[in-house]
Amino acid sequence: MNTMVWKVDKYVDNLENNPQVVDAANFLRKNEVVALPTETVYGLGGNAESDEAVAKIYVAKGRPGDNPLIIHIAEREQLKQFAAEVPALAETLMDAFWPGPLTIIFKRKEGVLSEKATAGLATVAVRMPDHPVALALLKSCGLPIAAPSANSSGKPSPTKAEHVLDDLNGKIAGVLDGGVTGVGVESTVVDCTEMIPVILRPGGVTKEQLEAVVGEVREDAALTDEAAQPKAPGMKYRHYAPNAPLFMVSGTAGFLQRLVEEKRSEGLRVGLLTTEENVSGYDADLVLACGRRGELETVAAALYDTLRRFNQENVDIIFSEIFPNTGVGHAIMNRLQKAAGNKLISE
Ligand code: TXA
Ligand code: MG
């Protein structure tokens, strides 16, 4: 299949009628799948009402069929079509954070969405992305769009159209290239089917931000206990992994540098993930600065691109600094732990 690339300037007016956006929307209506930029990462969109379209998403990504998709909408009105109930708690969260990087789990109405999109669960995950191109595409096609991150299953999520093409060129109808995404890590997934909201996946909206709006917020036990079964099926898989084994390192710069030297003396090509503050202090085969430690948002924005760059340089092993586990640092550490398969070396 020839994968189209539609370049769109996200700052132009009247995006809904932009020829590239209309072209992509037409493919969605024909139950083809297209990648689209959101404020978090690129998504691989397909008509959520169509088994045919949703099946194409799973095939293109090589995604296990038991991992449900997030449904993307442009208008809150659309929720009524497929959510069985919209609790007051969810209304409050939508008022505060939509459009934005917050996915909310609702009880599902039966018979509207493809059962494949929700992997047969009694619930459905929904979000309204805060990206002009995504919103224009959603409005232009008028459909609820199922969209997982537009990477091959297991790889780091795409934050640029080039990342999408690296993984999915020839496997999807097209990609709307709206430039680099902003947040860089995926949306926060919060379950609102009980009285107290539960974070199933940390992401772009922090626990602290949620608490400021709704008071008590819990976290799925699986986020801290490796033995617990996660409530978001996708959280049980290893993810975001670069080709070379990645180790998180807790300790001083001197300790990290000694680890690098030990591996180089064994003849390995060593990669090191640090930040702009520390980059000049290390010596390794490939030292990459992933944003600035002083502003964790910049680390989140650069994380997946940095993980992908290690693949291009063919290193044998990667050591990474770790980050504070608060604010957006919580999502960064969650992704880093998955990329590392939880391997941590402490001084
Ligand atoms: O920022 C994002 O959320 C991006 C962009 C493209 O919107 N999308 C994304 O989708 O990250 P995906 O498929 O890569 O991750 C969706 C996560 C998975 O962990 C999945 O198991 C979980 O949401 N999920 C989906 N539906 C669910 C449900 N009904 N109950 C619990 N977890 C659900
Ligand atoms: Mg994903």
* Residues paired with 285 in a beta bridge: none
71 neighbors 126 (Cβ within 8 angstroms) = yes
Whether residue 158 is preceded by a cis peptide bond, meaning omega within 30 degrees of 0, is no
DSSP state of 144: -
Burial of 304 (0-12, 13-18, 19+ CB in 10 A): buried
Q: Is 193 in the pocket of ligand 1 (CB under 6 A)?
A: no
Nearest-angstrom CA–CA distance, 233 and 241 = 18
Q: Is the CB of 147 under 6 A from ligand 1?
A: yes
CA 81 to CA 109: how far, in whole Å? 8
Flag whether pLDDT at 241 surpasses 90.
Answer: no
| pLDDT given at position 192 | 96
Can you tell me the mean pLDDT for 178-206?
A: 97
And the tokens for 82?
A: 């497929």
pLDDT band, very low/low/confident/very high, at 236 (cuts 50, 70, 90): confident
Range 246-346 has CATH code 3.40.50.300: no
Q: Check if 187 has its Cβ closer than 6 Å to any atom of ligand 1.
A: yes
**Cβ–ligand 1 contact at 45 (below 6 Å):** no
pLDDT band per the 50, 70, 90 thresholds, residue 226: confident
- Region 246-269: mean pLDDT is 98
Closest residue by CA, ligand 1 atom 18? 234
202 lines ligand 1 (CB under 6 A): no
State the residue for tokens 């296990």.
64
What distance in Å separates the CA atoms of residue 145 and residue 122, rounded to the nearest whole number? 18
Residues 6+ apart with CB under 8 A from 126: 70, 71, 72, 73, 79, 83, 103, 104, 105, 106
- For residues 130 and 40, the answer to whether their CB atoms sit within 8 Å is no
Chain position carrying tokens 């291009």: 312
pLDDT on residue 239: 81
Cβ(153) to ligand 1 under 6 A?
A: no
Distances from the Cα of 211 to the Cαs of 52, 178, 241, 263, 325, in angstroms?
Answer: 39, 32, 31, 44, 16
Determine the pLDDT at residue 317: 98
Q: Give me the mean pLDDT over the 237-242 stretch.
A: 84
Residue 17: is it exposed, middle or buried by C-beta count within 10 angstroms (0-12/13-18/19+)?
exposed
For 57-70, what is the HEC assignment? HHHHHCCCCCCCCE
Q: Where in the chain is the domain with CATH 3.40.50.11030?
A: 246-346
Closest ligand 1 atom, residue 150 Cα: 6
* pLDDT tens per residue across span 196-215: 999 999 999 999 999 999 99
Diameter over CA atoms, the chain: 62
Pocket test for ligand 1, best of 73, 130, 189, 191 (most atoms within 8 A of CB): 189
Flag whether pLDDT at 185 surpasses 90. yes
Q: Say if CB 293 and CB 278 are below 8 A apart.
A: yes
What pLDDT, in 10s, does the model give residues 29-58? Answer: 999 999 999 999 999 999 999 999 999 999
**Going along 251-297, which residue ranges are E strands?**
270-274, 286-289
Ligand 1 in contact with 46 (CB < 6 A)? no
Residue 276 DSSP SS3: coil
Please tell me the predicted confidence (pLDDT) of residue 238. 78
Between the CA of 162 and the centroid of ligand 1 the distance, in Å, is: 22
The token pair at 229 is 């079964």
For residue 100, what pLDDT band results from cuts at 50, 70 and 90? very high
Which residue is closest in CA terms to ligand 1's atom 12?
A: 148
Give, rounded to a whole angstrom, the gap between the first and last alpha carbons of the chain. Answer: 50
**What confidence score (pLDDT) does residue 11 get?**
92
Average pLDDT, the chain: 96
**Which residues belong to CATH 3.90.870.10 in the chain?**
4-233
Nearest to 146 by CA among 181, 117, 105: 117
Q: 7-37, pLDDT tens digit by residue?
A: 999 999 999 999 999 999 999 999 999 999 9
Question: Does residue 183 have its Cβ closer than 6 Å to ligand 1?
Answer: no
- pLDDT > 70 fraction of the chain, expressed in percent and rounded: 100
**Quick one: CA dihedral 232, 235, 240, 243, positive or negative?**
negative
* Domain at 4-233: CATH code: 3.90.870.10
CA 22 to chain centre: 25
Tell me the DSSP string of 93-127. Answer: HHHHH-SSSEEEEEEBPTTSS-TTTTTT-SEEEEE
157 Cα–ligand 2 center, Å: 6
pLDDT of residue 237: 82
Task: Output the CA 158–ligand 2 centroid distance in Å.
Answer: 9
